[in-house]
């Protein structure tokens, strides 16, 4: 189990799955929300495809770069 706020770490796991270094089924991700000031874990399903993609990307889950890029391109 590893806790991280790093998109580089997440992408490293995704690349390792794509490169066959880690099995997709061995990866589990939890996303923590604070709807009422208390952190609530939310399991990301399905986690990672064999191609290293996430098929479920919850709002707020490592999306700051996309939001910033949208602002830069508008």
Q: Write the pLDDT tens digit of every residue in 13-67.
A: 989 999 999 999 999 888 777 777 777 777 766 678 999 888 877 677 777 777 7
User: For residue 46, what are the domain limits?
Assistant: 7-73
Extract long-range pairs of 59-68: CB within 8 Å, 24+ residues apart: 60/31, 60/33, 61/31, 62/7, 62/10, 65/7
> How many Cβ atoms from other residues are within 10 Å of residue 56's Cβ?
13
Number of domains in the chain: 1
Residue 31 belongs to a domain: yes
Residue ranges of E strands in the chain: 30-33, 40-43
Residue 24 belongs to a domain: yes
Residue 2 belongs to a domain: no
Residue 68 belongs to a domain: yes
Residue 37 belongs to a domain: yes
> How many Cβ atoms from other residues are within 10 Å of residue 9's Cβ?
12
Residue 25 belongs to a domain: yes
pTM of the model: 0.69
> How many Cβ atoms from other residues are within 10 Å of residue 48's Cβ?
24
């Amino acid at each position: 189990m590893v806790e991280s706020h790093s998109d580089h770490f997440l992408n490293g796991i995704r690349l390792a799955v794509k490169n066959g270094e880690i099995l997709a089924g061995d990866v589990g991700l939890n996303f923590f929300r604070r709807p009422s000031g208390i952190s609530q874990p939310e399991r990301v399903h399905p986690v990672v495809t064999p191609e290293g993609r996430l098929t479920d990307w919850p709002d707020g889950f490592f999306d700051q770069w996309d939001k910033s890029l949208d602002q830069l391109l508008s």
